[in-house]
Every structure is written in structure tokens, then in C-alpha cells.
Amino acid sequence: MSFKDQLAVDAANCVLNGNEFAESVVYTPYGGQARTIKVIIERRRLIPSNQDANRVLTGTVEIHVARDAVLGVLSVNKGASADQVVLPEVIGGASVTFFVADILAQDEGMWHLLLQK
């Protein structure tokens, strides 16, 4: 098994383990069918760099999704044709619909996505 293959296996079996830190969300690819998948959610206020030092970005969260057709998604749509993700904005709170605003990072095993309300 190659290192890249091992990344994908670890993403599915360790990082996105629902008994650890992963949470279930409803992910709807643009023009596709909604389905429930496991993701890691980073709920925090984003602080912009230098020129906007006294501002914070609200209404955004980051998620980590498996780059897998069964456990996550193989491709991501952002911008005007953005995928939708429904998740609780706060743990235990009501679910809110977010849209994929940007792809922050990706590798063989995971997507790191910025979501916005």
C-alpha cells in the first residue's frame, strides 16, 4: 500500500470516526442528491490579517471531508454553483445551511473547505 493510499484509509477510519471527533452533516453537491456524511467541523471565529485586524469573520465554519466517493466527496463545487452543507452552527444547536465558499486545502485523503452562510 502506498503512502497516498494509506492517507485515504486513515482519513476514513481514524480522522472521520464518529466515536471520536467526526460529526454527521448533510452534504448536497450542486445539482446532486443530499446525503449524510461524517466530517470534522472547526467552529471558530476567523480573524483576518493585518489591515482588518479589528474585524472578525462571522457566519463561517471550516470542515474536513474525506476525498472519497462513498465516505465523502470526490469533487467540490464552490462559488455561484456551490455545494450545500447542513450542520449545527453550535454543538447541540439547530442545523443551518452553509455553502462552500472556498477550498482551503486538499490532499489524497481529505478536503479542507471554508463554508459560509
Q: What's the pLDDT tens digit per position in 103-113?
A: 999 988 889 99
pLDDT value at 55 more than 60: no
What is the distance in angstroms between the CA of the first residue and the CA of the last residue of the chain? 40
CA separation for the pair 58, 104 (Å, rounded): 17
CA atoms within 13 A on the CB side of 80: 0
Other beta carbons within 10 angstroms of residue 65's beta carbon come to 25
pLDDT value at 52 more than 70: no
CA separation for the pair 72, 2 (Å, rounded): 21
Write down the pTM of the prediction: 0.82
Residue 48: its pLDDT value, please? 60
**Domains of the chain, first to last:** 3-116 (2.40.10)
User: For the residues 51-64, what does the mean pLDDT come to?
Assistant: 72
CA separation for the pair 86, 63 (Å, rounded): 12
